[in-house]
Structure 1
Amino acid sequence: MINRVLQALQEPESYDEDVKEIKLIQTHISFVFLTGDYVYKIKKPVNFGFLDFTSLEKRKFYCEEEMRVNKAIAGEIYLGVMPIVETSEGRIKVNDTGRVVEYAVKMIQLPQSAIMSNLLKENNVYKKDVVEIAKLVADFHSTANRGEEISKYGSYEQIMANWTQNFEQTENLTGEYLDKEKYLELKDRVINFMDSNRELFERRVREGKIRECHGDLHSGNIFIVRRPGKLYKPGIYIFDAIEFFKGFSCSDILADIAFLSMDLEFNGRDYLDKSFVDAYFKFSDEEKLENLLDFYKCYRAFVRMKVTGFMLFDENVDEEEKIKIRGLVKKYFELAGKYATLL
């Protein structure tokens, strides 16, 4: 059935609005259809352990979860969960009457040129932009869900387990791709910081600083729209918050902002990073724990290194692409190492 749905959604008559051109983009977990005015995002029927979209019921649930977590920070562009049905005539249609065969999250389509990662390459992101982003994130964090079930993800034990897994999954990069001595030095600094600051992690839990956050807050998930469109206004739109795994979305609020902070520095925009962080602490009235922020920036850079490094062992990635990947792995590692020296 999924193949029929994919084929149908590439045909304009399958939609309940006027569609002239359709573009399909795939991620490892989604099929994303761009129709000009709207985006329809369907979850792939996959199971990666930390997420399970293998049944229609589960895909519906996580579509609804995606709406819930993103409405809080990008409510204007998230429109709803649309049923995709097989009509009595046997046609596949969006938001029509018939047997439901799939679900899609419907969003307003914003211009790809307005994605922050693209604007950074053009040197077209300014202090006022990151200050506005900081305000949005601070407001989002202030009302984000918290509680006992969420707090456990920020515990000393859980964070140490995360780092242990990170080290186990990247040890094979040492030697050929990473300097082993620097790798071990980073590892020692991280573990020493955690052991020396166990009370700090426990205090963050007690004070309710562990919340259901965005979880994937980087420049590729932010639109900075300068001009109005038919369905949207100029402004900042932060999208694609993680809905499928609490272990990714639930964290210390500083771990959430650490992702974008690290990303800005990775892109050579240290001055924007400083403006973003300073503005966040101003708007949130949070304690400015720079050491803890550096710790989480180290974590974010290391995880990006790890995930990027996985592609070095993917047989479907050609050698030319792997040369670029090696460069990214090294750059993320060096950035993680820099943060580690500050701990």
Structure 2
Amino acid sequence: MAPEELDLPAQQCLVATLSQHLTDTLGGPVHHLQTHLSHVLLAGGQAWKLHKALATDFADFRRLSQRVHDAQEELRLNRRLAAPLYRDLQAVLGPPGPVRLAPWPAQGALDVAVHMRAFEPDQQWDRLLQRGALSLAMIDRLAGRLVDFQRQAPVAPAWADADERVQQPLRDTLTTLGRLRPDALDGWSDWAAAEGRRLAGWRRQRSAQGCVREGHGDLHLANIAQVDGEPMPFDALAFDPALRWIDVVADLAFLRMDLAAHQRPDLAGRLLDAWLQRNGDGQALVGERAERVARALVRAKVAALRHTQTGQAADRDATDHALALARRVAQPAPPMLLITHGPSGSGKTALTEALLDQGDLVRWRSDVERKRLHGLAPSEASHSPLDGGLNDHTANAATLARLLALADAALQGGHPVLLDATFLRGADRQAARALAARHGVRYGILPFDADPALLRERLARRAAAGHDASEANAAVLARQLQDRDPLDADEQALCWRPDAVLTDAAGAPQARWTTLLAALQSAS
């Protein structure tokens, strides 16, 4: 049989024989795993992945040339984020000689394998999550790696059919779902058309700004592993360029969707916050929710395809769950705009941290955005005097304008927003309230305060630590306390306060916001 004509049954036999060869060569057991599109052989701390010689609605690997191209792309794409895992390509040789592996390329190869370093399966993020071992530190580290990767990724060309490239994958998903599960497609075509109109201008703007890049394309929990202490996304989408030339927010949205599917909105919220604090990409929020819905629909499609192969009830249930998640994300509670109010050191940032557990809430910190406007990292000192540098009137006005612009974009995307700033001036609070009114959303104030002596002590301790974005000192605090405009009676009626303030094991204060979190879930 010619290499180009290797069919699925013949390939299955080839893989079985290769597995025996590895057993004989390495002297240990070989584990054979299968996905919808691939065979994976694990042995001796190594892995070999072969693409199945089949065609689906979205990929065609029937010919060796097609499998070779995809394997080459897989090696290139995955070395960007998981270079320690992806070694090389190896040829699978066989009859008339024995089935064996050889360096690629090789004369007479029957198939090609992506040769990888194996990792411990229990270090995949879906398994870490199942046993409660996926930490906030890992989430934070991944966000940093993702932002760095996206900054370096190639920018998409200025395609004449760019809008069609974005919308066609979603239409294809809905077409497949409609064929497999016509009972579940009600309303989705209308939603896709409406979102296409709503986001048309945003997508053109994002493309012009270089936000459409060659991403990962399949960034979910099972495609991330802890290796050598680092989160390593692997198995990037290679078979269809249209699914990886995407807005940078799409990869983030995929992982956030998966965290929500695993009932962890708290981790989804922390991931969003960490990503935004690093890149300041507020405009991404206009379309982030729509990207999450699209990824949930893709998951429903994959589960439905799997159900046609297995007939198992679990796969039908997985389709139903993914569709239900897509509908929940597409129909969120109306957002709210919240602001903090209080002098530096009063606990605004620390005590609102728990609100991120809501999953969709977007927090923008004035201390971080003020420095971003001046090209400084959050922990980078500006050495600004009391009324100069980052503390002068122009800088204050620019920071407020940026916070309001960021909130505007998040509200357009259906996200509740928390603006973490002092908001000691009544005029600044009125500007935020006017923005909420323009969007027709609920507005609230989270007030904080403490004894001036305690505030001074906290600021001194924070300055000594040297890792906080805030540079407020005793002089800044004195000016704040002298010039602040107290909340009037109308504003007092808009205030939300913690249900309780607790202390964690390290002695740090933590707030419980049960009442406010319930309001965020049902805002009207």
Residues 50 and 114 in structure 2, CA contact (< 8 A), matched pair in contact too: yes
CA distance in 2, matches of 1:13, 1:315: 29
Task: Please say if 1:287 is aligned against 2:287.
Answer: no
Provide the residue aligned with 2:462 in structure 1.
none
Task: Please say if 1:105 is aligned against 2:99.
Answer: no
Task: Please say if 1:224 is aligned against 2:219.
Answer: no
Post-superposition offset of 1:3: 4.5
Provide the residue aligned with 1:59 in structure 2.
67
CA distance in 2, matches of 1:326, 1:105: 30
Provide the residue aligned with 2:76 in structure 1.
68
Structure 2: which amino acid aligns with 1:53? F
Q: 1:19 to 1:102 in 2, by over 3 A?
A: farther
Q: 1:60 to 1:340 in 2, by over 3 A?
A: farther
Q: 1:95 to 1:131 in 2, by over 3 A?
A: same
Question: For structure 1, which segment, 235-244 or 67-76, has the greater mean C-alpha deviation from structure 2 after superposition?
Answer: 235-244
- Relative contact order (alpha carbons < 8 A, sep ≥ 6): 1 or 2 greater? 1
Residues 52 and 61 in structure 2, CA contact (< 8 A), matched pair in contact too: yes
Provide the residue aligned with 2:243 in structure 1.
248
Post-superposition offset of 1:159: 3.1
The correspondence for 1:317, drawn from 311, 320, 329, is 311
The correspondence for 1:338, drawn from 309, 328, 331, is 331
Post-superposition offset of 1:28: 2.1
**1:240-284 Cα distance to aligned partner (Å, 9 max, x none):** 001111121111111111100111112121121111112122333
Task: Please say if 1:25 is aligned against 2:33.
Answer: yes
**TM-score of the pair, normalised by structure 2:** 0.56
Residues 266 and 335 in structure 1, CA contact (< 8 A), matched pair in contact too: no
Q: 1:47 to 1:167 in 2, by over 3 A?
A: closer
Provide the residue aligned with 1:82 in structure 2.
90
Q: 1:190 to 1:92 in 2, by over 3 A?
A: closer
Aligned length: 325
Gaps of 5+ in 1: 226-232
Runs of 4+ in 1 over 4 A off after TM superposition: 12-16, 171-176, 186-190, 339-343
Post-superposition offset of 1:75: 0.4
Provide the residue aligned with 2:214 in structure 1.
212
Residues 9 and 15 in structure 1, CA contact (< 8 A), matched pair in contact too: no
Residues 303 and 315 in structure 2, CA contact (< 8 A), matched pair in contact too: no
Provide the residue aligned with 1:228 in structure 2.
none
CA distance in 2, matches of 1:206, 1:287: 16
Secondary structure of 2:331's aligned partner: helix
Structure 2: which amino acid aligns with 1:306? K
Provide the residue aligned with 2:127 in structure 1.
118
Residues 250 and 291 in structure 2, CA contact (< 8 A), matched pair in contact too: yes
CA distance in 1, matches of 2:38, 2:195: 38
Structure 2: which amino acid aligns with 1:92? V
Post-superposition offset of 1:302: 2.2
Post-superposition offset of 1:64: 1.2
Q: Which has the larger radius of gyration?
A: 2
Q: 1:340 to 1:294 in 2, by over 3 A?
A: farther
CA distance in 2, matches of 1:99, 1:172: 40
Residues 87 and 93 in structure 1, CA contact (< 8 A), matched pair in contact too: no
Residues 147 and 279 in structure 2, CA contact (< 8 A), matched pair in contact too: yes
CA distance in 1, matches of 2:58, 2:328: 27
Give aligned-pair identity as a percent: 22
Post-superposition offset of 1:20: 0.6
Gaps of 5+ in 2: 1-9, 335-412, 415-524
CA distance in 2, matches of 1:271, 1:49: 35
Structure 2: which amino acid aligns with 1:119? L
The correspondence for 1:159, drawn from 162, 166, 171, is 166
Post-superposition offset of 1:217: 0.2
Secondary structure of 2:109's aligned partner: strand
CA distance in 1, matches of 2:325, 2:192: 16
Question: For structure 1, which segment, 191-200 or 215-224, has the greater mean C-alpha deviation from structure 2 after superposition?
Answer: 191-200
**Superposed CA RMSD:** 2.9
Structure 2: which amino acid aligns with 1:332? L
CA distance in 2, matches of 1:9, 1:64: 21
Q: 1:175 to 1:35 in 2, by over 3 A?
A: closer
Q: 1:37 to 1:156 in 2, by over 3 A?
A: same
Q: 1:81 to 1:326 in 2, by over 3 A?
A: closer
Task: Please say if 1:195 is aligned against 2:197.
Answer: yes
**1:47-87 Cα distance to aligned partner (Å, 9 max, x none):** 33643322223322221111000001100110110122248
Q: 1:80 to 1:198 in 2, by over 3 A?
A: same
Q: 1:284 to 1:81 in 2, by over 3 A?
A: farther
Provide the residue aligned with 1:91 in structure 2.
98
Residues 12 and 20 in structure 1, CA contact (< 8 A), matched pair in contact too: no
The correspondence for 1:268, drawn from 263, 269, 281, is 263
